């Protein structure tokens, strides 16, 4: 079965540094998402992306965050100046459609630790 892949699986960075988290969505999917999960808490929506632009974003997704689809396969999340509270598991997801059939397929996540 096709999978969403994410790299790296773990990322350790110093506060104030920039990080880029990478994702390869399932090839025929058109909608891409980033979520985060702070340890022991629920999964929180960050942003959705379709047709090379952000379609929706949450209040968490502030000016420190950006997303990009630099080529036909990768989907990236950039955090410009990391803060301690950015430490979390970041999940990429993709779906084939939106609306009544928006099944999400999650990647295995990137554990980000900000020191």
Interface residue list for other proteins (CB under 8 A): 33, 35, 41-45, 48, 56, 58, 91, 98-109
Residue number with CB closer to other proteins (35 or 82): 35
Residue number with CB closer to other proteins (9 or 17): 9
| CA pair distance 64, 18, nearest whole angstrom | 9
How are beta strands 110-114 and 10-13 bridged, if at all?
Answer: parallel
Residues forming beta bridges with residue 93, ordered by sequence position: 33, 106
Least distance from other proteins to the Cβ atom of residue 15, Å = 25
Least distance from other proteins to the Cβ atom of residue 43, Å = 4
Least distance from other proteins to the Cβ atom of residue 108, Å = 5
| CA pair distance 86, 79, nearest whole angstrom | 9
Residue number with CB closer to other proteins (17 or 77): 77
Least distance from other proteins to the Cβ atom of residue 27, Å = 18
| CA pair distance 78, 63, nearest whole angstrom | 10
Residues forming beta bridges with residue 91, ordered by sequence position: 35
Tokens of 21: 């988290």
């Amino acid at each position: 079965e096709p999978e969403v892949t994410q790299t790296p699986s773990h990322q350790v960075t110093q506060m104030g540094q920039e990080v880029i988290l990478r994702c390869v969505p399932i090839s025929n999917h058109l909608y891409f998402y980033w979520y985060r999960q702070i340890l022991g808490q629920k999964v929180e929506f960050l942003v959705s992306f379709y047709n090379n632009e952000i379609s929706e974003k949450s209040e968490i997704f502030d000016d420190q965050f950006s997303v990009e689809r630099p080529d036909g396969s990768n989907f990236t999340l950039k955090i410009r100046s990391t803060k301690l509270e950015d430490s979390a598991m970041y999940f990429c997801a993709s779906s084939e459609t939106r609306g009544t059939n928006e099944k999400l397929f999650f990647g295995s996540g990137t554990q980000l630790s900000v020191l």
